[in-house]
Amino acid sequence: MTQFNLNFEAKGEDMRIQTTLQYARMIFDYLWTLSGSLPFVVDGDDIVWRADGVKDGLCKGLGLDSTRIHESWEPTPDEERPSNEYIWQFTKVAHESTGIQQLPSQPTIPSIEKAFEGWSQSYGSEVASHLRCLVEAETPHYEYLQRFKI
């Protein structure tokens, strides 16, 4: 996968480092141990599908007025967008967005077998195998953090 002139292959170490939840879990555990309080965990899907619940829970925990939170905004002006192509590819949806937008129905997370089939068709079996290994390695970290989400 060398899209956008980036060296970001499924089997490469860069892919694992950039996509792992291991470090987020380590930071979560460290902050919890250090402070004795649970750090906030926000699931990106919940921002879309449970926006009010996430907003209220986060604001309550931080002592903020939830009525001052905006759910729509202006896109980031061109001159303020990241100039690094790598960073841009990871953040462009947020920079170009005008607010929280839902699809007509909430998508379901496919089984690893179903995802593997789709990856095999899109990227070939070798890349699909590497992606499957990455997902399987990350699942325990995701499930751990998910237990603490707002």
Q: Cα separations (Å) of 51 from 42, 46, 93, 129?
A: 11, 6, 18, 34
In the predicted model, what is the mean pLDDT of residues 19-47? 95
Report the distance separating Cα 8 and Cα 2, nearest Å: 6
Q: Cα separations (Å) of 127 from 58, 97, 139?
A: 38, 30, 18
Q: Kindly give, in sequence order, each residue whose CB lies less than 8 Å from that of residue 87, ignoring residues fewer than 6 positions away.
A: none
Q: What is the percent of the chain where pLDDT is above 90?
A: 66
Q: Phi and psi (nearest 5°) for 149?
A: -70, 155
Q: Which amino acid is at 146?
A: Q
pLDDT in tens, 66-98: 999 888 999 999 999 999 988 998 899 999 999
- Cα dihedral 57, 58, 63, 64 sign: negative
The chain-wide mean pLDDT, for the chain, equals 89
> What is the reported pLDDT for 122?
93
pLDDT in tens, 14-28: 778 888 999 999 999
Q: How confident is the model at residue 1 (pLDDT cuts 50, 70, 90)?
A: very low
pLDDT in tens, 52-68: 899 999 999 999 999 99
Terminal alpha carbon distance of the chain? 34
Q: What is the DSSP letter of 145?
A: H
Lowest-confidence segment of 5-9, 47-51, 100-104, 106-110 by average pLDDT: 5-9
User: How do the domains of the chain map onto residue ranges?
Assistant: 3-146
In the predicted model, what is the mean pLDDT of residues 30-40? 96
Helix spans in the chain (H): 13-19, 22-35, 44-49, 51-62, 85-96, 112-123, 125-146
> What is the reported pLDDT for 8?
60
Q: Which long-range CB contacts under 8 A does 35-42 form with residues at least 24 apart? A: 38/148, 39/148, 40/150, 41/145, 41/146, 41/148, 41/149, 41/150, 42/149, 42/150
Q: Please tell me which residue, 10 or 60, carries the higher pLDDT value.
A: 60
Q: Is the pLDDT of residue 143 over 90?
A: yes
> What is the reported pLDDT for 2?
46
